[in-house]
Chain A
């Protein structure tokens, strides 16, 4: 990061390579709008370039700092747009190839989850994405959402209970 702060483009390229895809996964799940998500990832990583001097490695990990920026940009985007629309993406998937039926089934499952995630309030969705998909610790996620760990647990629990209901996951007994 010190090298990036001094304008070292090669060092910046390494960090872009490391963080671009995880940030894309977060933004695309958060917004469900590929173009808007890509803008947010681009903006987040450009801020890494222009604001690198502000990063304090003692108080946060770089991935937490970047997710914090991306989260705030997503919330800004929600505020600007009263309605979020889904846009199909033409980029190629990295998922391994499966048979047509398996692909169809996976696609349908994914669509159900995406639709259920869209029903969650923004903060519950962000809490779930940060912890489940992005693998952030509860403390890091709480810091990004500016809440206590207890409040984060409450957001997560409400999100998962709602998802179980929407996705019709019933108790095993």
Chain B
């Protein structure tokens, strides 16, 4: 059986309508009400708050048409929407779309070892040294050095 304090805590959390009491607490709360007539007053107090809360009903717009109209239709648009989800800063989506080929190009380029300057320079030096060993004259150096 719940203590009175615990019952009032649960009322404070979930309100006075038994339909809003969580299933895991429902039976023990109901048993408490049956055994303790004073609980009716506490429930009435909680219900007064529930009813007052219900009086605040904000006006609800119909946004369906605008949501459907702004839902991206092409695969590229959906990909961009996935990458850039904030509709309020949509100005840079076109910029991002325009930059996509550049971004892809850079990504592919970075992955190609032939574009790595440091490696290229090492390769050129190594090739020159090989040529010099095989044929010093052809490499532009003096044969007697």
Q: Which residues of A approach B to under 8 Å, CB–CB? A: 7, 9, 12-13, 16-17, 20-21, 24-25, 28-29, 34, 38-39, 41-43, 45-47, 49-51, 89, 91-95, 106, 109-110, 112-114, 117, 128, 131-133, 137-138, 152-154, 156-157, 160-161, 163-164, 167, 169-173
Contact = CB atoms under 8 A, between A and B. Distances in A.
Given A50-B82, A131-B20, A169-B45, A89 B63 contact: no
Contact of B55 (A12, A42, A113): A113
| Interface residues of A, dominant DSSP | helix
Given A113-B52, A171-B41, A43 B82 contact: no
Given A42-B66, A42-B67, A50-B78, A163 B53 contact: yes
Nearest to A92: B59
B56 A91 contact: no
Contacts of A114: 56, 58
Interface residues of B, number: 43
Contacts, number: 143
26 contacts: A9-B71, A16-B68, A29-B58, A89-B59, A106-B55, A109-B55, A109-B56, A110-B56, A132-B15, A132-B53, A137-B22, A152-B13, A153-B14, A156-B12, A156-B14, A157-B9, A157-B13, A160-B13, A160-B15, A161-B12, A164-B49, A169-B49, A169-B52, A170-B45, A171-B45, A172-B44
A138 B22 contact: yes
Interface string B65-107: 0111011110100100110011110000000000000000000
Contacts of A16: 64, 67-68
Interface of B: 9-10, 12-15, 20, 22, 41-42, 44-46, 48-50, 52-53, 55-64, 66-68, 70-73, 75, 78, 81-82, 85-88
